[in-house]
Structure 1
Amino acid sequence: MKLEEEKLYRAFKQEFFHWFLQYDDYGNFSNVIAELLRLLKEELMLKQVTFFVFDPLNKAFYPEATTNEGENQPFPRHPVPPGDIAAMMDDEQQTIRIEQENEHATAWIFLRFSEESFGMLQLVFDERHLFSEQMLKNIKHDFSELFRKIKMISQGLSDEKRYEQLHRFAAKIHSSMKIDDVLEEIINTLKQVYPSFTYYLFLSHDIQYHEYLPIKTIAFDESEENMAAMQAFLTGRIQFEDSIRQRRSILYAPIKGAQGVYGVIEIIAPHIMEFPKKEVNFITLLANTAGSALENARLYEQSRRFVADLQLITETMHQLNANLRLQDAIEFMVKQIKQSFYADEVGFFWFEGGKWELLPGSTPFFQSRQSKKYIEFVEKKIKTEKDIAFVGDTSVHDSLAVFDYRSLMAAPMVQNGELRGISIVLHREPYHFTFEMFKLLQSLIQHSTLVFTNAMLREELENLVITDYLTKLYSRHYLDEQIKKSMIHDAFGTFILVDIDNFKQVNDTYGHQIGDDILVQVADIIRDNIRSGDIGARWGGEELAIYLPKVSLAAGISVARRLSEKVREKTHPPVTISCGISYWKKNHSEEAKDLFKRADEALYMAKRAGKNCIFVKDYSRQYKA
């Protein structure tokens, strides 16, 4: 090496020593190299210095830093033939090349940093100042070692910074008991550590999260394209997906806690052939930290939900045990289920006489034709297959694929080991219900089944008390009570006494069994021709009674005429009826017994007038209607 070159190089080293002592931004490798190249250019009087790093994916060198940035001249990549790469990997080969053009020369110096990484230093000289071969070899040797150490320092500082971020990440997410906050912090940390990468979180559908996060739902479907994410979730081990054609590498890290895997982090790295081992270790640590925090947050939310579920069950049972009527109890349960599960439709069905009967209080949808497919599907699941009915997406089942409601839960109503009914809950969106919701629904239905059964028995007993055994009309006692209430709360009403003409003759001619059948026929005609709020009752013997609350006398006469006509037409053997009608108004001070007395007197006149007719007893007069 020439004496002048030795002095120049010694002066550079001395200046480098001063620069090294003062420089403190070793965290960014590119910035360090840029400063070093600037120093090299100034001290060695070079026209230009550029440092290239080798990209194994594209088999080319790419500029990492240059002293020529101010001239806005782009530096293209430099492809390297495979044979040259093999030669450069061997230190014994010639790894310095010189190109001369016009008034300047360019030296290309191969630099090896480790077994995995190497680069290229480009020095541009005036033709007069071209260094000797020995000088270039010294630069190659020194800068290979220098760049290697700078890279180690830079990488160490970068790793230290990342692990500081990981420490802050761990402290922050472990201080939060909200799943949403944990997921958001995972995304924010990934953005800071890998700003040029693309990433997603694969989560099971039972984890609730905000839609603005880059999250995909794990679907357990064999046709799903992303099997690597599924494998990571199922095995709890990191999976890789490298694509030379797409020039990218994908890593799937399971978000794993002590009790299981809760999701998968997908990291898509462009222009990377393979994830370095240290990156895999860091991502694994980050994913495990996230898994531990997510598990704690889920356990906390589960405990809160468990307490809330117990409160819901306790409050529900307290309300149901307040001797509600069956329809009121069903309506209350429907309201509770819709509020607790944000359900769209809720139906209760009771198994009676070999078929399913929709209980009053269910949502109107279950009276539609479309609901039959859901009912048949659930019935088959619960009765035939002895299986629970919890479906995330009903569209996968052919019988339900064309219908609107995609999420379905159905809980059996079991008493003393016997299936008594089912509750069906629907929502329009797929995967709306979680399995935790289903378990809560099962608990609610299990606790409420006995209440529903008791309500049915109580109402059945009430009906037995207030209903005539033979005609199934109300009893006279119930009629008396209802008329008394009506005379307190209403403004007017009409009362009709009905007597079957020649009933004794029917008994004598056809027998008492036919006589009873005639009574039932007339009772059925009465029930079919009055409103639900009207009261048909058995008065005694062959006499029946009808009370029409808030019905005028004229309307009451029309009802009596219609009944008289229907009885003549529909009874077999044919019979006729006589009717006595009375009515009341609020401005007359009277009691129910006065109403009965006038109707009885009117009926007596109808019998005396030849039967098969209608008489009215007014406050002051009596006449044929």
Structure 2
Amino acid sequence: MNVQEHDMYASFKQKLFDWFLGEKDFSDLSRVMQAVIVLLKEEFKLLEVTFYLLNPLKKIFHPEATTNRSIQSNPERYGIPFDERLKKGLDEVLVTENGDGTKTVQFSLYFSEDSLGLIRFQFPEDWFIRDEFIGKIQKDFSKIFNKIRKISQILNEEKRYEQLHRAATKIHSSMNIDDVLEEIVRTLKEVYPSFTCHLFLSHDSSTHRDLPIKLLSYENEDEHMGAMQAYVTGQIQLEDSLASKKSIIYAPIKGAQGIYGVIEMIAPTIMVLPKSEIRFISLLANTAGSALENAKLYEQSKRLVADLQLINETIHHLNTNLRFQDALQFMVEKIKTSFAAEEVGFVMIQGNERKILPGSTPFFHSRDAKAYIDFVLHRIQCSRDTLFLGDAKINVQSGVVFRSLMAVPMMRGMMKGVAIVLHREAYHFSFDMFKLLQSLIHHSTLAFTNAVLREELERMVITDRLTNLYARHYLDERIKRSMEEDGLGTFILIDIDNFKKINDTYGHQIGDEIIIQVANIIKANIRENDIGARWGGEELAVYLPKVSLNAGISIANRLVQKVREQTNPPVTISCGVSYWKKNRSDSVKELFNRADEALYTAKRTGKNRVVVQEY
């Protein structure tokens, strides 16, 4: 190196050192190298200088920094192919004459596994610097490039870990799952703006926000094999594709208690991700997993408290002496509200027969429900079987197709049946919902059984054991209430003619059967709100609330005719009819007395007839 070269190079190094001391941000490699090549151009009186970086996927040197405005405006046009000829000359300084009184110098900067640079500059033909001096520039620039690149990597690494720390602080401060997921996506996009990011989550995770989320499903296992492998094994999975010119990394979102999803990062134009990037993405995924687990545990605890409150309130309400139908209706509404269900049905199993309980939603009383009930009863073989389907495949000829299905058996004492909950949307019910439904049905079945037993006991108290008609005391109470609330009513007192002769002829067992036959005829010929009762012995009674005298006489005559025609051995009955109207002085006792007098007249005047006793 001669004196002139030495002085020029010393001046350049001094200015480079001053610039280095004054530079505050080395994270942007392109911007830093731009400053270096500008200094190089000015100090060595060059015409132009361009710094290139190798894109290994495209196999081309791309201009990263330049003093040439044409290259700056259209860098894609000025790429240098990384061909075999260039590979062989990487260790050499190439000097070519341009034919316009200028020369071009080209040499490589620091060759490594993942980084290769190239410097190209032009100078006049009368340039006084020798080739040996250019070799010195190449050697020192390789060192400069290598150090700047390392500083840039360290600073970028530090910046990313600062971002990771900030993201970790933010997501760990939130107990909202949606907030955690949103912050994970935001951090990934901030750190890797050129990458495509997706979160694969299981079906029990949902969000209402517009995030790049996909559902993990074994049905699409072939399409997302890497994601499924990462989810199942808990290990990072890598996919490098020459055909699509991209790298994909699948990082499991792991917590202490499980794996909650997978981060998918698609890196365009990168064939192999550096180990440092893999470590960072893995660390971010683990941080996300920890935060997501905390948020899930918090929401799970809140949900468990809410579930316990729901079970508590429901069972407390069911145990407040509700009628069985009212209890079922309350339960159906509670399930529809709590699970956002579309259809809820309770099916009782009595031998080979099924009975849709009142209170079930209208769908279960339609023909379309049969396919779902058949499917459930076929799948549930014993009291411990349950059914939870996210995408049910049930053959339905017509009507609405329900894809989400939950079914829980109701088995306790005399209660044998199943509760079925449906929704048209696939995977509408979460597994937590299913567990809550199981708990609700398990606890409510006892309340339902108690309601049935209570109603059965009440029925036994107010029902005659032989005839299944109402008992005398219940008849008295209903007539008294009717005389307080209604405007009129008709009472029919019935006696089986010659009943003693039947007992003497056929025996008391046949006599009881005759009473049962007559009672059944009465039940078949009166309305649901009419009161058929056993008065005592072979005497029966019917009270018709809000029924006029003429209508009551017609009913009494029909009963006389039906008994005569339908009993075996054949018998006849006599009827005494009385009635009352509002605004007339009357009582239950007087109503009975008038009917009794009319019955006595019917028996005395030939039997098998109806007699009316007026006021």
Greater shift in the superposed pair: 100-109 or 257-266: 100-109
Q: Which residue number corresponds to residue 445 of structure 1?
A: 441
Q: Structure 2: where are the runs of 5+ without partners?
A: none
SS of the residue corresponding to residue 161 of structure 1 reads: helix
Would you say 1:50 and 2:47 are equivalent positions? no
1:428-481 Cα deviation digits (max 9, x unpaired): 222222222222222222222222222222222222221122221111211111
Q: Which residue number corresponds to residue 412 of structure 1?
A: 409
Preserved CA contact (<8 Å) 2:93 2:105: no
Q: How far off is 1:262 after superposition? A: 1.0
Q: How far off is 1:236 after superposition? A: 0.4
1:421 to 417, 426, 447: 417
Greater shift in the superposed pair: 298-307 or 383-392: 383-392
Would you say 1:14 and 2:14 are equivalent positions? yes
Q: Which residues of 2 match residues 268-279 of structure 1 at below 5 A?
A: 268-279=266-277
SS of the residue corresponding to residue 383 of structure 1 reads: coil
Residues 581 and 96 of structure 1, relative CA distance in 2, 3 Å threshold:
farther
Greater shift in the superposed pair: 464-473 or 350-359: 350-359
SS of the residue corresponding to residue 336 of structure 1 reads: helix
Give the TM-score of the pair, scaled to structure 2.
0.91
Would you say 1:497 and 2:498 are equivalent positions? no
Greater shift in the superposed pair: 24-33 or 4-13: 4-13
Q: Which residues of 2 match residues 223-302 of structure 1 at below 5 A?
A: 224-302=222-300
1:462-512 Cα deviation digits (max 9, x unpaired): 222211222211112111111222222333333233344454555555554
Give the TM-score of the pair, scaled to structure 1.
0.89
Preserved CA contact (<8 Å) 1:99 1:107: no
Residues 401 and 129 of structure 1, relative CA distance in 2, 3 Å threshold:
farther
1:268-292 Cα deviation digits (max 9, x unpaired): 1111101111011011111111111
Q: How far off is 1:254 after superposition? A: 0.4
Q: Structure 1: where are the runs of 5+ without partners?
A: 620-625
Would you say 1:537 and 2:533 are equivalent positions? yes
SS of the residue corresponding to residue 63 of structure 1 reads: strand
Residues 113 and 565 of structure 1, relative CA distance in 2, 3 Å threshold:
farther
Residues 52 and 526 of structure 1, relative CA distance in 2, 3 Å threshold:
farther
Residues 509 and 22 of structure 1, relative CA distance in 2, 3 Å threshold:
same
Residues 195 and 562 of structure 1, relative CA distance in 2, 3 Å threshold:
farther
Q: How far off is 1:354 after superposition? A: 5.0
Q: Which residue number corresponds to residue 73 of structure 2?
A: 72
Give the AA of the match of 1:28: D
1:13-64 Cα deviation digits (max 9, x unpaired): 3332232222212122222222223333333333333222111112122222
Preserved CA contact (<8 Å) 1:374 1:400: no
1:216 to 206, 214, 217: 214
Pairwise CA RMSD? 3.0
Residues 490 and 144 of structure 1, relative CA distance in 2, 3 Å threshold:
farther
Residues 316 and 532 of structure 1, relative CA distance in 2, 3 Å threshold:
same
SS of the residue corresponding to residue 263 of structure 2 reads: strand
1:61-101 Cα deviation digits (max 9, x unpaired): 22222333477344326363552464356x4xx35353515
Would you say 1:517 and 2:509 are equivalent positions? no
In structure 2, what is the Cα distance between the partners aligned to 1:545 and 1:464?
18
In structure 2, what is the Cα distance between the partners aligned to 1:67 and 1:266?
39
Preserved CA contact (<8 Å) 1:105 1:130: no
Residues 426 and 99 of structure 1, relative CA distance in 2, 3 Å threshold:
farther
Give the AA of the match of 1:539: W
Give the AA of the match of 2:404: S
Q: How far off is 1:213 after superposition? A: 1.7
Residues 35 and 509 of structure 1, relative CA distance in 2, 3 Å threshold:
same
Give the aligned length: 614
SS of the residue corresponding to residue 206 of structure 2 reads: coil
SS of the residue corresponding to residue 267 of structure 1 reads: strand
Residues 380 and 497 of structure 1, relative CA distance in 2, 3 Å threshold:
same
Q: Which residue number corresponds to residue 345 of structure 2?
A: 347
Q: Which residues of 2 match residues 468-483 of structure 1 at below 5 A?
A: 468-483=464-479
Q: How far off is 1:251 after superposition? A: 0.7
Q: How far off is 1:340 after superposition? A: 2.3
Preserved CA contact (<8 Å) 1:326 1:455: yes
Residues 81 and 117 of structure 1, relative CA distance in 2, 3 Å threshold:
closer
SS of the residue corresponding to residue 423 of structure 1 reads: strand
SS of the residue corresponding to residue 237 of structure 1 reads: coil
In structure 2, what is the Cα distance between the partners aligned to 1:503 and 1:65?
121
Preserved CA contact (<8 Å) 1:255 1:287: yes
In structure 1, what is the Cα distance between the partners aligned to 2:324 and 2:271?
68
Preserved CA contact (<8 Å) 2:26 2:151: yes
Q: Which residue number corresponds to residue 35 of structure 2?
A: 35
Q: Which residues of 2 match residues 44-443 of structure 1 at below 5 A?
A: 44-69=44-69, 72-76=73-77, 78=79, 80=81, 82-84=83-85, 86-87=87-88, 91=91, 94=92, 96=94, 98=96, 100-129=98-127, 132-221=130-219, 224-383=222-381, 387-395=385-393, 404-415=401-412, 420-443=416-439
Residues 225 and 542 of structure 1, relative CA distance in 2, 3 Å threshold:
same
Residues 419 and 504 of structure 1, relative CA distance in 2, 3 Å threshold:
closer
In structure 2, what is the Cα distance between the partners aligned to 1:457 and 1:612?
41
Preserved CA contact (<8 Å) 2:415 2:449: no
In structure 1, what is the Cα distance between the partners aligned to 2:82 and 2:112?
20
Residues 400 and 130 of structure 1, relative CA distance in 2, 3 Å threshold:
farther
Give the AA of the match of 2:131: E
Residues 69 and 385 of structure 1, relative CA distance in 2, 3 Å threshold:
farther
Q: Which residue number corresponds to residue 622 of structure 1?
A: none
Greater shift in the superposed pair: 214-223 or 264-273: 214-223
SS of the residue corresponding to residue 75 of structure 1 reads: helix
SS of the residue corresponding to residue 254 of structure 1 reads: strand
SS of the residue corresponding to residue 119 of structure 1 reads: strand
2:480 to 481, 484, 495: 484
1:246-301 Cα deviation digits (max 9, x unpaired): 11111110010111111111111111101111011011111111111111122222
1:584 to 575, 580, 586: 580
Q: How far off is 1:571 after superposition? A: 3.9
In structure 2, what is the Cα distance between the partners aligned to 1:480 and 1:248?
89
Q: Which residue number corresponds to residue 623 of structure 1?
A: none
SS of the residue corresponding to residue 152 of structure 2 reads: helix
1:130-186 Cα deviation digits (max 9, x unpaired): 964334323322222212111111111111111111111111111222222211111
Greater shift in the superposed pair: 341-350 or 263-272: 341-350
In structure 2, what is the Cα distance between the partners aligned to 1:419 and 1:573?
39
